[in-house]
Amino acid sequence: MGQSPFLESIRAVLRTRHYSLQTEKTYLLWIKRFILYQNKRHPKDMGEQEVTEFLTHLALERKVTAATQNLALCSIVFMYKHIFDRELTLLDEAVRARKPRRVPTVLTNDEAMSLISVMRPPYSLMFSMLYGCGLRKAELLSLRVKDIDFGGNSVFVFRGKGAKDRVTLLPKALVPDIERQIKKVADIHEKDLIEGEGRTSLPQSLARKYPSAIKALKWQYLFPSKVRCIHPHDGYICRHHIHWSSLAKVLRTAVNEIGIRKHVTAHTFRHSFATQMLLAGTDIRTVQELLGHSDVRTTQIYTHVIGQHQSGAISPLDHK
């Protein structure tokens, strides 16, 4: 199934439409699971009823989260839309997983800075940018040298979540560290060029549109991997960015060293950025734009996090 011509045809469409490698893997996985659940029937012979049954199975038997169920649905909808040119209309009886209302965990400024202080470079800079720029982990890893605008004190985020571009803050405090990091990137790149390499990994569309960019310094990743690898789509030798798992390991070590008992992930630093910006009096619409949220209601969740600070509410135990 994993190498079937049908799944390969979906892979080809995903790549033509420039979906990320991770999205490609995830979509193909859920489409494969849908087909297996329906006893390997071909999707062209199925429709709304079978999709509804699969979603209900995920909710009631697999007990997946709402986010996971929605990801499965998006994968299947993509398949029907782009392979069969068919829009799905789900039946009303589909059981949807309930999405819990959660308030995100955030760090105080002291906690965030304490964690960063015990990290080694370049990870201290990477987490500083997650916290100081409000970046998602994938956005941070995808940054290239060209995306740093020192003159405008800004960071350009190319194809963030939802394939949207945006500009966010470049903290002045990070300028010296970022300049040093770019110098390190330049040294690595120069060594690669001397060894007859020097290519970065580019999406297929950009590699064709800008053939000279593949060896240009400005297109190199800001946080390059220590080793070169084979491009997953085009097969050439290139230098990709640091793997996301490295951030998780460094963060876990820092949390244990500092002794923070909160559940902290890389995304917690983005939550903390939003909270600190609102506490400082930044307009919520501005925070929305910096975070890249399509709907201000997504940003408003952070007003619940800072509830006491924003409303002035005081516990009766703290009354004098």
319 located within any domain: no
53 located within any domain: yes
How high is the mean pLDDT of the chain? 89
Shared domain check, 46 and 158: no
The contacts found for 235-240 with CB under 8 angstroms, 24 or more apart, are 236/199, 237/197, 237/199, 238/197, 238/199, 238/200, 238/201, 238/214, 239/188, 239/189, 239/192, 239/197, 239/199, 239/200, 239/201, 240/200, 240/201
Domain count, the chain: 2
Q: Does residue 138 have a pLDDT over 60?
A: yes
167 located within any domain: yes
Q: Does residue 310 have a pLDDT over 60?
A: no
Pick the more confident residue, 136 or 160: 136
Shared domain check, 231 and 283: yes
Give the domain CATH number at 291: 1.10.443.10
Least confident range of 7-21, 97-111, 160-174: 97-111
189-242 pLDDT tens trace: 999 999 999 999 887 767 777 788 899 999 999 999 999 999 877 888 999 999
Shared domain check, 286 and 165: yes
Known catalytic residues are 136, 161, 267, 270, 293, 302
Q: Does residue 319 have a pLDDT over 70?
A: no
Task: Label residue 78 by pLDDT band (50, 70, 90).
Answer: very high
Shared domain check, 37 and 123: no
Name the domain boundary from 22, 50, 83. 83
**pTM score, whole prediction:** 0.78
Task: Label residue 320 by pLDDT band (50, 70, 90).
Answer: low
User: What percent of the chain lies above the pLDDT cut of 90?
Assistant: 70
Mean pLDDT of 128-132: 97
Shared domain check, 305 and 209: yes
Domain span at residue 159? 103-310
Q: What is the pLDDT of residue 1?
A: 42
Task: Label residue 119 by pLDDT band (50, 70, 90).
Answer: very high
Q: What is the pLDDT of residue 317?
A: 63
280 located within any domain: yes
Give the domain CATH number at 55: 1.10.150.130
Shared domain check, 260 and 125: yes
